Amino acid sequence: MPDKEPTPPDSENRWSRFSKTGAFWMLMLMVLFLLMQVMRGAGDRVNEFTYSEFLDEVDAGNINEVTFKGNRRLEGELKSPVARGEAEIVEFWVVTPGSDTEKLEERLIDSGALVSAEVPEAGFGVILMNFLPWILIIAVWIWLFRTMQGGGNRAFQFGRSKAKLISPDTPKVTFADVAGADEAKQELEEIIEFLKDPGRFSRLGGRLPKGVLLVGPPGTGKTLLARAVAGEAGRPFFQMSGSDFVEMFVGVGASRVRDLFEQGKAHAPCIIFVDEIDAVGRHRGAGLGGGHDEREQTLNALLVEMDGFESNEGVILLAATNRPDVLDPALLRPGRFDRQVVVDAPDVRGREGILRVHAKKLPLADDVELGVIARGTPGMSGADLENICNEAALLAARNGADLVAMDHFERARDKIMLGTERRSLVLTERERKLTAYHEAGHAVLGLKIPGLDPVHKVTIVPRGRALGITASLPEEDRHSYTKEWLEGQLAMLYGGRVAEEMIFGLGAVTTGAGNDIERATQIARRMVTQFGMSDVIGLMAVGDSEHEVFLGREIGQRRTVSGHTARLVDEEVKNIVDDAHQRARTVLEEHKDLLESIAQALLDRETLDRVEIEMLEAGTPLPPLLSAEVLPALPVEAEPAPGAVVEAEPGAAGAPPG
């Protein structure tokens, strides 16, 4: 396919040049006319008589002839010159005070003057002033029409595409700036090679893909990959958001789709990138307007343009979404989106690569080990890792350091994963003690139940909305979860409530375990209804209700199981959580000394790291506290509820249920 350089339409350039040139010359003519009027008035000012002077000359009989003209103007000639300054005036003009000139005419005739009258001719100035309003109205109308018109038979500017053409002068992002998505990069590199050398693939009968859909959770780098494609392709690249298609005006979205593909065909081969395509590509038939819904019309136009009666050769549609489940099936079929590229959360090697990309611009200290940070951030997306690097740099600047050290990265990671410390929040001694035993209960269960992830940190310093946090981090990425791990996680979640019951009694338990109980119930219900981990229900997938979706919102529920089965599910969920509660009590009663030692250490130190926790588990006394500067209070961020156990892999694929 021959290459085509992206050039703007010649008609638009010609009209733009013409309109600018015409407006310039029109302005110059108006200025020239005004200058001529001013100069003419300045020249006539010398020959101007006042009405009193004129009457004096009439009474003196010095008027030879006079001519009446329009607008009460009289022009005449004197018999004898009159000196005015250094000049002698023979010809003069004067403006009469009124339109009734009968008595003046008689007076002039009696003085012996020759009296005549003329009808003034319409000069250029008069014609221009008469027609100037119409000229301005027509010019404004033409300008508005050309501005709003979409070209051809399109009505107004509303119907024109809002896509932005990425120019070669724009700072480029290349695949070297993208890490942690090797498979996605490979798929997109093949698309770029297809654009650069289509004959390499078409000689065996292959055709250029029409659409590539980037699918993945938020923050995994879908838009960054699209920017890298724009930087690597060396072809015209149009960028647009899905929300830019739909407006309040009917038919605007479909018109913009057609205009977008017309621009694409004019610059083929090219790439069109539509971000958040789910804004326009949702299932049809879910709107109030049925087939006449504006969003559905836009989607229909998009389907036809991608693979309709007329082919769009050389135009590749690249789209991104984190909601592939809501897209219309007709949009996802081969021939429209030929490929779906999954951009998932990176693994440990990918996370290290992402950290290296973002750490290039940071002055790092010698003790920084990005591999250690990558192993301690499972489940984090590329956006989260970039945020860690940025927070570490901000912490280093706040502390007046010249280099970003490992301690800054550790504190930045804890801030993002656990929440911002709220040292300004004053707790009573009883609240501190309750929180210490609550978190100690979680920590003991995390240490003593086999198969769970190692406890990373325990703190009773309020972070976000939580009064205390126990964080666990896996030693390696986990993509699936065993029944043993889930049951251990349930017991750990109940560790805080059981510790409160054992130390303070049933009547003194707090609301700190509310989030723990909610999450434990969700995990237990999914074990029963989805994972087939119940002997009573068996391997049948049981849904409590089927949600009816209306415009993306649940407006009702329709039960899909019998009442007997629903009762069995509830009983089995209760049995699982009761067993977890009892298991947590058994472990804590067996290791009550460890519970006391961790709680007392928390009251003394407020925060325990992994090394200190392992020392307490081994019965080794902790080293004495060193004086340290207290960090200033930072803004509050929304985080888990009081006493929450932070999940090891937030947002990861295959993350623990609940």
288: CB partners within 8 A, 6+ apart = none
**Which residue is listed with tokens 């490979």?**
186
Using CA atoms, how far apart are residues 50 and 507, in angstroms rounded to an integer? 110
Residues of the chain with pLDDT under 70: 1-27, 29-46, 70-71, 99-100, 120-130, 143-171, 246-251, 286-293, 308-312, 543-560, 626-658
Does the domain at 348-417 match CATH 1.20.120.140? Answer given as no
Phi and psi at residue 10, in whole multiples of 5°? -65, -35
62: CB partners within 8 A, 6+ apart = 78, 79, 80, 82
pLDDT in tens, 429-483: 888 899 999 999 999 999 999 988 888 889 888 887 788 888 888 877 777 889 9
> Could you tell me the residue ranges of all domains in the chain?
48-117, 158-342, 348-417, 427-646
- Please tell me the number of Cα atoms within 13 Å of 153 on its side-chain side: 1
138: enclosing H helix or E strand:
helix 124-148
| Burial class, 480, CB count within 10 angstroms (exposed 0-12 / middle 13-18 / buried 19+) | exposed
Angle at which helix 182-196 crosses helix 222-233, to 10 degrees, equals: 30
Of 439, 487, 501, 647, catalytic: 439
| Burial class, 145, CB count within 10 angstroms (exposed 0-12 / middle 13-18 / buried 19+) | exposed
At 164 the pLDDT is: 64
Strand, helix or coil for residue 163: coil
CATH of domain 158-342: 3.40.50.300
Contact between residue 523 and residue 489 where contact means Cβ atoms under 8 Å apart: yes
- 469 has which bridge partners? 459
Residue 439 appears among annotated catalytic residues: yes
Strand, helix or coil for residue 582: helix
Using CA atoms, how far apart are residues 253 and 258, in angstroms rounded to an integer? 9
Residue 617: how many other CB atoms lie within 10 Å: 17
**Quick one: fold of 48-117?**
3.30.720
Using CA atoms, how far apart are residues 117 and 68, in angstroms rounded to an integer? 4
- Matching CATH number, 427-646, of 1.20.58.760, 2.40.30.10, 3.90.25.10, 2.102.10.10: 1.20.58.760
At 39 the pLDDT is: 56
317: enclosing H helix or E strand:
strand 315-321
At 203 the pLDDT is: 74
At 649 the pLDDT is: 32
pTM comes to 0.63
